Amino acid sequence: MRYANKFVTISVILCAPFSAAQNSSQPAASSAPIKAGVEFVQVPVVVQRGGKHLPGLSKNDFSLQQDGKQQPLASFEEIHATTSTTAKQDAASFGNGFASGGATPQIVMLAIDTVNTSPFDQAYFRDELKKYFAQMKPTDSPLGLVELTRGGLHVLHDFTRDAGALMSGLDKAHTVPAKNNDTSSVLSKAANEQQQRDEGLADQNPDMEQRLDALLAQEDQVSRFQDSTTRIDSLLALQQLAQMLKGIPGRKTLLWAGSGFPFASLSSTNAAGQRSLAPDRAGSALDLHAYTWKLLNDANVAVYPIDTRRTTNTAYDVMDVTNKYSPTYRQKEMARDADSDTQATLLSVAEKTGGKACIGRTDLHNCIREAADDNRDYYLLGFYVDKSNHAPGWHKVTIKLDQKASLRYREGFIIQASKPDQVRNTDLQLALNSAFAYTSLPFTGRFLSFTPEGDNKNVNFQLRIPPNAVSLEDAKIDFDILAVVRAPGGKETARISQHISQTLPPQGVATIQAQGINYTNKMTVPPGEYGVWFVLRDNPTGRTGSVTVPLKVQ
């Protein structure tokens, strides 16, 4: 390709060839400049009367408050979501774009949580899901299907209305045992051992009580570690889904089917069956928790938890199958508390993202349909964050309507505390291990040529970032580019990692704004078949794009 002469200086300064594109047939990004930091917030609002969308409302019908202070609406739109389609590339190109013909797409993603769900509940939900597939109509929204396993998120099927294809994707999933760290097992053991003490059995051996205490403490420590690991895995999975959906306009629906979120399980149990908080174990997970909320809010993802336990009887959780001991009152009370915590967490997840929890119902297939219908018609309100209230943390949003109707929207948004390097590394590593393309930073690319390099081949490639996709505040660009080549089985064969940070002259800024950026480089690999992971991240805004491409080197 021919580089723009006006950009030669920058090309020389950077480690790899880099230029503004002179000519391209790729679609341009939005003409609005991208700015760093939290400034503009969009809030989708589902407005219903009698269970139906209330149409024809105007901007003046709504009022919005941030942390109790009235904020003017900077944007307002009534959305009628339409069919979604993925961007089409020519045979020689690849990319992570998402095209919808200029209309806001209707996006519904269903995640089946096999880590926190019993095999029985998994089997019941799959039967309910098959009922939904059997009732799908041509006008229904496309559905994407994924599952959360101990090995991460797996794609069962991309977005489609084809019930047969979705059924085939569901058949790829396997019912797996849930994690064996149910708090009730610890409570049962603790209560039984305490009952032995009460009966005087421990007095037969002076060391027995000390050994029992040590055993229970060790079991509790293992249980807490498993809880923490599962919680973090679930949060990372939500982050990957949010990053995948972030670049798609409008409100997105994420159905999470399982026996509950383990995000708030921060308690421990002593030998007497008494529970206490364990904040010493929760610090990193809580930071991750806040960042997950931020990504979901920024991406306008509404989470609809589906409790696959349906109706529950906590008395069964504390029964001793050997019939040796009867459950104690403390056992029953703590089992009820655990169930109450689970339901409260499901409700909180829904409320904080603008979704709706499905709890205590057996018609789970109807829960799926109701959630999908919610995403068909809604209002999208936008406002600028209060300049006097930019403190890190959770900021409450309150929306009112001047007439009687049911409103559902996310309760607020998060301003992240400044940890740029930590967040940057997390985003890049997750993108390199994600089953999805990240969409918030759009780009396209192509392999240009293959040239000999001894017994290996140089794979020359080009990536194109469209105009206004990266931040240009203070005339500076700051973004990362990763390209990782992996052989079958996951063995890494080649890697390019480049951090590009450069202050540009006014002419360079104008060129990028008008024409975008082209990046060229090469990877040296032996002949064979590979997968290539491309990841780009605009560091001032945190927008991340990724795509995985097959590569065959003759």
- Count of CB atoms within 10 A of residue 124's CB? 17
Q: Tokens representing 379? A: 């209002």
Ranges of beta strands (E only) in 366-475 are 377-384, 393-401, 406-408, 412-415, 444-453, 456-465
Secondary structure (H, E, C), 464-526: EECCCCCCCHHHEEEEEEEEEEECCCCCEEEEEEEEEEEECCHHHHHHHHHHCEEEEEEEEEC
CB 442 within 8 A of CB 97: yes
The 10s digit of each residue's pLDDT in 346-386 is: 998 999 899 999 999 999 999 999 999 888 999 999 999 99
Q: Does residue 94 have a pLDDT over 90?
A: yes
**pLDDT level of residue 255 (50, 70, 90 thresholds):** very high
Asked whether the beta carbons of 188 and 331 are under 8 A apart, the reply is yes
State in Å, rounded, how far the first CA of the chain is from the last one: 23
Instruction: Give the mean pLDDT of 269-278.
Output: 42
Q: Is 24 helix (H, G, I), strand (E, B) or coil?
A: coil
Element (H, E) at 547: strand 543-553
The DSSP output letter for 117 is: S
pLDDT at 178: 52
Going from the C-alpha of 40 to that of each of 75, 128, 386, 395, 411, the distances in angstroms are 10, 40, 10, 13, 16
Range with the largest mean pLDDT of 180-184, 330-334, 398-402, 429-433: 398-402
Domains parsed from the chain with CATH numbers: 5-34+423-553 (2.60.40.2550), 107-192+207-265+295-374 (3.40.50.410)
Give 200's strand partners: none
The token pair that represents 80 in the structure block: 């009628």
pLDDT of residue 13: 32
> Is pLDDT of 331 > 90?
no
Task: Give pLDDT tens digits for 181-196.
Answer: 344 444 444 445 555 4
With contact defined as beta carbons under 8 Å apart, do 520 and 14 qualify?
no
Count of Cβ atoms closer than 10 Å to residue 139 Cβ: 8
Mean pLDDT (the chain, rounded): 81
| pTM of the complete model | 0.81
Q: Are 283 and 310 in contact (CB under 8 A)?
A: no
